[in-house]
Amino acid sequence: MRISEFLSPEAVVADLRARDKQEILRELSAALAQAHPSLKGERLVEVLREREKLGSTGIGEGVAIPHGKLSGLTQLVAAFGVSRQGVDFEAIDGKSTHLFFALVAPENSAGVHLKALARISRLFKNPRFRASILEAPTAEAIHALIVQEDARP
C-alpha cells in the first residue's frame, strides 16, 4: 500500500490556520471534503472527534495522525496539513504538533486502516523528512515529498 493511493494533492494544506485541536480537525475535514465531494465535512469532523475522545492521536515529534472510520465510505481517504506555528494537540511528548495526517477508513476495514497508520507512522519517524516537509513552500511540494519518501524501499 502506498500513501499516494489514498492521499490526493487536493487534500494537502500547506499552511493550516487553526490555532487549536478542534479547529485543526475542522480544517482537515474541510480539505478532505473538498478533495472528495461526496463526503460531508461535518460528518468527518464528528468521526475524528470521536476517536480523539479515546485519547490523543498526537504521536509526538510534532506529528499527529487523527483517524476514524466512516460508514458508507468505500475507500481509504486522507488529508495532510502543516501548521507552521504549531498547535497543542495533547501529544504524548507534550510538544507542539506541526504535521497532521488525517485518515478516514471504511467502517469494516481494520486491516487497511492499520496498515495505513503503520505506514504513515514509519514515514514520519525520520527527522530529516519531517524537516523537509516543514520547509516545503506549497501543497504540491509537500505532496511530492510524501510520495517520494513513501516510494523508498
DSSP state of 143: H
Q: What is the pLDDT of residue 111?
A: 85
The average pLDDT across 118-141 equals: 96
Are the C-beta atoms of 129 and 120 separated by less than 8 Å? Answer: no
Q: DSSP readout, 92-133?
A: TT---EEEEEEEEEETT-HHHHHHHHHHHHHHTT-HHHHHHH
Q: What are phi and psi of 8, to 5 degrees?
A: -90, 155
Indicate the number of domains in the chain. Answer: 1
Q: Which of 67, 98, 113, 143 is catalytic?
A: 67
Query: In this predicted model, what pLDDT tens digit does every residue of 31-72 receive, in sequence order?
Result: 999 999 999 989 999 999 999 999 999 999 999 999 999 998
Range of the domain at 88: 3-150
Residue 13's CATH number: 3.40.930.10
Under the banding of pLDDT at 50, 70 and 90, the label for residue 127 is very high
> Residue 41 and residue 50: Cα distance in Å, rounded?
14
Active site residue 67: yes
Q: What are phi and psi of 52, to 5 degrees?
A: -65, -25
Q: What is the pLDDT of residue 152?
A: 87
pTM, two decimal places: 0.95
